[in-house]
Amino acid sequence: MKLAITGPTSGIGEVAFIQLAPHFNEIFLIARNESKANKLIETLSKHDQKKITFIYCDLTDMETVVSAAQSIKEKTATLDVLINNAGGIFQNKEITKDGFEMGLAANHLGHFLLTHHLMPVLLAAPKPKVINVSSEAHRAAKVDFNDLNYTNKKFNSFISYANVKLFNILFTKYLSENFGEKGLNAYALHPGVVKTNFGKQTSGIFGIFWKMAGPFMITAEEGAKTTIYLAKTKIDSLKNGYYFKKSRPVKPSSEAHSKKMRDRLWKESEKMLAKWL
């Protein structure tokens, strides 16, 4: 069994990576910080260390996403589980060198492109899974498909995060709908409100709320449980495309169910990423 995971260098992804390592024969650790990745690999047993391949990837730099997928494809013909975990909330509007709003690129576009290029090796596995780490924040989304990069609209840190977390669920549903017949299973999840590096740089109302929530947050070990459950467990095929919380399927917002929205998101993502597809 082979696993690839983004964002394994901190928080939820780090715990998921460490706890999943003994259950897989080969693991692609996809990260942007090689020294952090190497320190993490050193915490594993000598036996598990041999299974790990570091793959450089900055999800906000699409060229590196394409070469990351390429390197994985050169090393394996099959991939059983892809965990799209990396992400975060951005306080201010920043535009990547490719021209995308940073949160959109880090949380959605990078993973869209990575999954697209890994699809041949995923579909070559017997029961492949794509697991997308979303958030309950998706319920606050207010999507404007005509201005996804905030060219004309005022940037709002929390709403832009809520939008991309909604995209994670729409993307999941689209994957199950369009690749389910080929054997692909896709799941989205909310990890809980987890004490990690997430949100540490934020100020304003969200920053105050996040600091106040600190004492009530769960640990990264607790927060990683649903990701680990989905990666390890055989899930009923009827649950393909579902959104999970506390290792159980739950109903996401009505927008998250919208076929019109997931089709539009797919179309817009392909349009923005045309150069790298």
> Which residues are tagged catalytic?
161
Is residue 133 part of the contact set for ligand NAP (CB under 6 A)?
A: yes
Give the DSSP H or E segment for 28: strand 26-31
- Minimum separation from the CB atom of position 1 to ligand NAP (A): 22
What single-letter DSSP state applies at residue 92?
S
212 closest CA partner among 225, 191, 195, 197:
195
For residue 108, the 8-state DSSP code is I
Tokens of 5: 């995971």
For residue 181, the minimal CB distance to ligand NAP (Å) is 28
Which position among 131, 194, 256, 261 is part of the footprint of ligand NAP (CB under 6 A)?
194
- Mind spelling out the 3-state secondary structure of 25-74? CEEEEEECCHHHHHHHHHCCCHHHHCCEEEEECCCCCHHHHHHHHHHHHH
To which residue do tokens 């080929």 refer? 182
Question: Of these, 167, 198, 243, 244, which contacts ligand NAP (CB under 6 A)?
Answer: 198
The region of 40-48, 70-78, 195-203, 229-237 touching ligand NAP under the rule CB under 6 A is 195-203
For 144-174, the DSSP string reads -GGGTT-SSSPP-HHHHHHHHHHHHHHHHHH
**Segment near ligand NAP (CB under 6 A); pick from 26-34, 148-156, 174-182, 267-275:** 26-34
- According to DSSP H, which parts of 93-156 are helical? 102-104, 110-123
Q: Is 160 in the site for ligand NAP (CB under 6 A)?
A: no
- Please choose, out of 2-10, 48-56, 143-151, 252-260, the segment that lies near ligand NAP by the rule CB under 6 A: 2-10
* Residue 181 backbone phi and psi in degrees, to 5: -65, -25
Residue corresponding to tokens 């990683």: 224
Kindly state whether residue 140 participates in binding ligand NAP, applying the rule CB under 6 A.
Answer: no
* 106 three-class SS: helix
The token pair at 27 is 């693991």
Q: Report d(CA 89, CA 196) in Å as an integer.
A: 12
Is 33 a binding residue for ligand NAP by CB under 6 A? The answer is yes
Q: Which is nearer to ligand NAP, 197 or 247 (CB)?
A: 197
**Binder of ligand NAP out of 2, 4, 5, 10 (CB under 6 A):** 10
Smallest gap from Cβ 265 to ligand NAP, in A, equals 17
Cβ nearer to ligand NAP, comparing 125 with 225:
225
Per CB under 6 A, contacts with ligand NAP among 36-95 are: 36, 57-60, 85-88
* C-alpha span between 40 and 59 (Å, rounded): 20
Question: For residues 128 and 223, which CB has a smaller minimum distance to ligand NAP in the complex?
Answer: 223
Mask of contacts with ligand NAP, 237-276, x by CB under 6 A?
----------------------------------------
**Taking a C-beta distance cutoff of 8 angstroms, is the pair 187, 230 a contact?**
yes
Size of the site for ligand NAP (CB under 6 A): 29
Return residues touching ligand NAP (CB under 6 A): 6-7, 9-13, 31-33, 36, 57-60, 85-88, 106, 133, 135, 190-191, 193-194, 196-198
